[in-house]
Chains A and B, each alone.
Chain A
Amino acid sequence: MKISMTVNGSEIGGEVPDRTLLVHFLREVAGLTAANVGCDTSSCGACTVLLDGRSVKSCTLLAAQADGRDVVTVEGLTSGPDDLHPMQRAFRAEHALQCGFCTPGMVMAAVSLLAENPSPTEEEVRTALEGNLCRCTGYHNIVRAVLAAARDGAASASPAAGQAAAASPAGPGRPA
């Protein structure tokens, strides 16, 4: 079937088999390989992206379900490695990533969390990230990073905060 969606502000379309998962559409049609597949049971969250501003596990949706909708992946948070979103900055400052495989999903889940709850407690962060698995960090520094980003007001820099912000490829997520 033919589908089309906005991915990180750009229109991406293609002819794909009906059963194509959103994560495979992103990785193989859109060429955005940051979202990873870490399980086949919607358990790990390595594939987490924002769909119309809310975090979803992109292995659990068909690409067709995103037809005509707005997707933001970690690549769309900023313009590149020299320009970190406050959440990415906090992840780096707090050493919240090691191998990096869960990181794109973890960052998007964290961005989504702060959009819903701009100043969570440690317990709220831990509960909110229960659906995102990390085998390297013991979550200790991830939790610290999310709390630090919240203190720095990351929620207001989030594309999850509004559809409008996510519509511009270079703009979303830049620190004010």
Chain B
Amino acid sequence: MSILGTRVVRTEDPRLLTAGGTYVDDVRAPELAAAVRATFVRSPIAHAMVTGIDVSAALGAEGVVAVLTVADMDDLGPPPPPPEDGGDDEPGGEAAPVPLGGLWAEPLLAVDRVRFVGEPVAIVLTDDRYQGEDAAELVSVDYEPLPPVANAETALAGETLLFPGTKSNIAAMAGVTGNGSAGDGSIFDGCDVVVEQAIGNQRLAPVPMEGRAVAAAWADGKLTVWVSTQNAQISRFILAGALGLDPDAIRVIAPDVGGGFGAKIGIDRDGLIVAWAAKHTGRPVRWAETRSENMTGMTHGRAQRHVIKIGGTRDGRILAYALDVVQDTGAFPRMGGFLPSLTNLMATGPYAIGQVQASYRVVVTNTTPISAYRGAGRPEATAAVERAVDLFAAETGLDPGEVRRINLVPIDQFPYSTPSGATYDTGDYVTALDKVLAGAGYAELRAEQARRRERGDVLQLGIGLASYVEITAADAAGGETARLVVHGDGTATVYTGSSAHGQGHHTVWAMLVESELGIPMADVTVIHGDTDLIPAGVGTYASRSLQLGGVAVQKAAVDVKDQARLVAADLMEASEADLELDTERGVWQVRGDPATSRTWAEIAGHAGAEGLTAATNFTEGQPTFPFGTHLAVAEVDTETGKARLIRHVTVDDAGTVVSPVLAEGQRHGGIAQGVAQALLEEMVYDADGNPVTATLVDYAIITAAELPSFELLASETPTTVNPLGVKGIGEAGTIGATPATQNAVIDALGHLGVRHIDMPLTPNRVWAAINAAGENGGSR
């Protein structure tokens, strides 16, 4: 029996549990023995000209090795000049490169202005970390404040521009018509019921438990960089470009990484500065940011405003849907410039809706730049359409579950092409919905809700649904690499271009080798995240690892098996066709004759000193589209507005499950982050662009005490686009759980006249919504 699909515990764990991982700040490599500590001087102001930097006092402080500003970056050459024709003065449009260059370019250390609180202005190198904090305080920076553009509305008004020479704060846009939103509304002609709603999808801080961390050493013309990243190879590419080095002169190592969630894709500006400082000074440099630095220095996620419009028939058929997105991308158009195109692509979710209009505008503001955060554009699409479906259901008076069932893409329609341009590979959306309704006991939940309403209980019950489809491995054509070596002693080594930061790659890649070759997991070593050993690779984001990196390992194993057959035929003096691999015992033998068996050690040894090697780069013909339904049950205290999630039931179908243990773990973590967005978390700025939730005391990261245990139901609908039949599971949780939880809380208050509340559904907001509905004539 294959090990695939069985409940294997992780090979990573004994080390992590007994010694702790080796994260960047734990690396004790000899090259770093004399490392100095880097401390950033960051802008305390959202928008200002920098008119002077005085480092003299800091230079005299104890332990200070160097204080560096942009003036010291002359070894990088001048930044590329803006194009002569003025270039990027128009919005970048749908095909805008990310990040945008030209007039929108982001410097390393601030040049003449700062655009967000936390932007790096100078870097101080000291013998130890405490000295660095003292010395950074002594760097005196003169700021001449500019009017802050603290939010998307101010950005759109355009009275203050962030980038001189541009004509507006809109960095990219698509699908926007003359009236500033999607279409002219004519798609709703003929709808009996039309509902429109403005919806916020608030800014979140990713908060991986390990913040950003970089260590760098320059020696003998080679730069070695340890970085807490999801992508060692991409980091090397970015470093080479930023520092003007040949990629071969750079080695990037991603040691253990303490969570990423999209915010550690590649290496960011701060990391580049640290690497530059090491090269510039010739001293090895270490930097591990503080949490307060992390809350404004690491990219944020989400930060979209939606206007949705949904229309259909009285009996529940949805005919038309419009989605307009305003993406606040923060101070520089990094990946935030790209996210709303994914939101538009996935606008209609799992529903067969004939008429769709989707549009977006990306605006720059004086806030921390936006990038990917678990889901990256798809949770926003799902949140919008799932609120829309509930609003439509409320308007028609139909059950939200029934409205979903009527409109879900039916099983006989796959592959299904949406009006917004996606092609859903495989799915069984109605079954996912029905499984969840049955598993949760939907009818009984509704009955309990009715009883509480009847009694007028203070604690009201809400049931929230979210059916979703999402896109994983959106860059399927980018592929992933694997190299597999079976050594002369019968053990194997996998070199993967994918990169782990908690997902359990080492366990699953070893399972794949054992399954294909019969070499026991314990004899399989997996290596990732070292560009000297693995020069080509992409890494981990967009729920791509298993379906690209995992399949690459499996294909390499098949290749090794083919080679081994030839070697075995030679060794055993038998015909290739007569040989078989017994994967239970991990031996080759003449078909049906165990007495002839030869081990992998014998075969690989016979193949030569190098053993057997296969290298692959697996690309998929198209992305995959996992789907599912989440059902949340919330209890809402109608006197205080306090909402609490009490149950969460889900089907998350990501095709064939290779490791149930790890797939469940991914779902759990995503659900918690989704519930956190729905109920608690928001990165808040005041009107001057000052972050007011910049520590874990102020930012309401979710804890164990605020969550129930989750009820996961199994479902596997394989994809046909890769041989393992797998899709991505890493982001399903945030995509499904966020709107299910939001819908549950609002559902609890439906009888009071509440139709919508923006996230996070804090007691204050819920209480205010209850009271506003009461004033508007809702019954209590």
Interface set of A (CB-CB < 8 Å, partner B): 17, 19-20, 24, 27, 33-41, 43-44, 46, 74-75, 77-78, 80-84, 88, 91-93, 95, 97-104, 107, 122, 125-127, 129-144
CB closest residue in chain B, given A104: B20
Mind listing 5 A-B residue pairs with CB under 8 Å?
A: A44-B209, A92-B14, A95-B662, A138-B707, A138-B733
Is B292's CB under 8 angstroms from A40's CB? yes
Is A129's CB under 8 angstroms from B130's CB? no
Distance in Å: Cβ of A40 to nearest Cβ of chain B: 5
A129 to B702, CA, bound (A): 12
A11 to B168, CA, bound (A): 64
A129 to B705, CA, bound (A): 7
Interface residues of B in 394-443 (CB under 8 A from A): none
Q: Is B84 located at the chain interface by the 8 A CB criterion? A: no
Interface residues of B in 204-241 (CB under 8 A from A): 207-211
Is A41's CB under 8 angstroms from B695's CB? yes
Q: Is B571 located at the chain interface by the 8 A CB criterion? A: no
Q: Is B261 located at the chain interface by the 8 A CB criterion? A: yes
The prevalent SS among residues of B at the interface is loop
Interface set of B (CB-CB < 8 Å, partner A): 9-10, 12-23, 25-26, 129-130, 207-211, 256-259, 261, 288, 290-292, 501-504, 661-662, 664-665, 668-673, 695-697, 701, 703-705, 707, 709-710, 733
Is B502's CB under 8 angstroms from A138's CB? no
Distance in Å: Cβ of B39 to nearest Cβ of chain A: 13
Given contacts A39-B695, A91-B13, 6 further A-B contacts (CB under 8 A): A39-B696, A44-B696, A82-B14, A83-B18, A97-B17, A137-B668
CB closest residue in chain A, given B659: A95
A9 to B288, CA, bound (A): 29
Is B673's CB under 8 angstroms from A135's CB? yes
* A residues in contact with B504, CB < 8 Å: 98
* B residues in contact with A36, CB < 8 Å: 20, 23, 209-210, 258
CB closest residue in chain A, given B665: A95
Is A40's CB under 8 angstroms from B290's CB? yes
For A35, A82, A104, which residue has the most chain B Cβ atoms within 10 angstroms? A104
A99/B18 contact (C-beta < 8 A), A135-B669, A137-B665, A143-B709 known: no
Contact of A92 among B10, B129, B130, B210 (CB under 8 A): B10
Distance in Å: Cβ of A139 to nearest Cβ of chain B: 4
For A36, A77, A140, which residue has the most chain B Cβ atoms within 10 angstroms? A140
Distance in Å: Cβ of A111 to nearest Cβ of chain B: 12
Distance in Å: Cβ of A142 to nearest Cβ of chain B: 7
A136 to B720, CA, bound (A): 30
Distance in Å: Cβ of A101 to nearest Cβ of chain B: 3
Is A99's CB under 8 angstroms from B210's CB? yes
Is B704's CB under 8 angstroms from A129's CB? yes
Distance in Å: Cβ of B492 to nearest Cβ of chain A: 21
Distance in Å: Cβ of A29 to nearest Cβ of chain B: 12
Distance in Å: Cβ of B668 to nearest Cβ of chain A: 4
CB closest residue in chain B, given A83: B18
Distance in Å: Cβ of B738 to nearest Cβ of chain A: 13
CB closest residue in chain A, given B131: A17
Is B502's CB under 8 angstroms from A125's CB? no
A94 to B288, CA, bound (A): 31
Contact of A100 among B256, B291, B664, B671 (CB under 8 A): B256
A137/B20 contact (C-beta < 8 A), A97-B13, A100-B502 known: no
CB closest residue in chain B, given A31: B28
Contact of B20 among A38, A100, A122, A132 (CB under 8 A): A100
* A residues in contact with B661, CB < 8 Å: 95
A77 to B14, CA, bound (A): 12
* A residues in contact with B9, CB < 8 Å: 92-93, 95
Distance in Å: Cβ of B649 to nearest Cβ of chain A: 13
A138/B710 contact (C-beta < 8 A), A91-B13, A95-B665 known: yes
* A residues in contact with B709, CB < 8 Å: 122, 140, 143-144
Contact of B695 among A27, A43, A98, A141 (CB under 8 A): A43
For B17, B661, B664, B703, which residue has the most chain A Cβ atoms within 10 angstroms? B17
Is B291's CB under 8 angstroms from A41's CB? yes
Is B257's CB under 8 angstroms from A99's CB? yes
CB closest residue in chain B, given A125: B704
Is B696's CB under 8 angstroms from A80's CB? no
Is A84's CB under 8 angstroms from B209's CB? no
Is A133's CB under 8 angstroms from B209's CB? yes
Distance in Å: Cβ of A60 to nearest Cβ of chain B: 13
A81 to B504, CA, bound (A): 17
A81/B19 contact (C-beta < 8 A), A40-B291, A136-B669 known: yes
Distance in Å: Cβ of B526 to nearest Cβ of chain A: 16
CB closest residue in chain B, given A122: B709
A102 to B502, CA, bound (A): 11
A95 to B507, CA, bound (A): 12
* A residues in contact with B673, CB < 8 Å: 135, 138
* B residues in contact with A144, CB < 8 Å: 709
Is A101's CB under 8 angstroms from B259's CB? yes
The 10 A-B residue pairs whose C-beta atoms are closest, nearest first, are A34-B20, A101-B258, A99-B502, A138-B672, A98-B502, A100-B16, A43-B696, A81-B14, A138-B668, A139-B704
A40 to B699, CA, bound (A): 13
Contact of B18 among A20, A77, A127, A143 (CB under 8 A): A77
Is B259's CB under 8 angstroms from A81's CB? no
A132 to B705, CA, bound (A): 10
* A residues in contact with B670, CB < 8 Å: 138
Distance in Å: Cβ of A15 to nearest Cβ of chain B: 13
A44 to B211, CA, bound (A): 12
A11 to B502, CA, bound (A): 34
Is B665's CB under 8 angstroms from A100's CB? no
For B14, B288, B501, B707, which residue has the most chain A Cβ atoms within 10 angstroms? B14
Distance in Å: Cβ of A61 to nearest Cβ of chain B: 16
Distance in Å: Cβ of A148 to nearest Cβ of chain B: 13
Is B21's CB under 8 angstroms from A101's CB? yes
Is A19's CB under 8 angstroms from B502's CB? no
A43 to B295, CA, bound (A): 14
* A residues in contact with B207, CB < 8 Å: 135
A37 to B733, CA, bound (A): 27
For B15, B258, B673, B695, which residue has the most chain A Cβ atoms within 10 angstroms? B258
Distance in Å: Cβ of B311 to nearest Cβ of chain A: 37
Contact of B17 among A37, A84, A129, A132 (CB under 8 A): A84
For A44, A78, A97, which residue has the most chain B Cβ atoms within 10 angstroms? A97
* B residues in contact with A134, CB < 8 Å: 209, 704
Is B208's CB under 8 angstroms from A135's CB? yes
For A92, A126, A136, A142, which residue has the most chain B Cβ atoms within 10 angstroms? A136
* B residues in contact with A137, CB < 8 Å: 665, 668-669, 672
Distance in Å: Cβ of B499 to nearest Cβ of chain A: 12
A33/B26 contact (C-beta < 8 A), A40-B292, A44-B209, A98-B669 known: yes
A137 to B704, CA, bound (A): 10
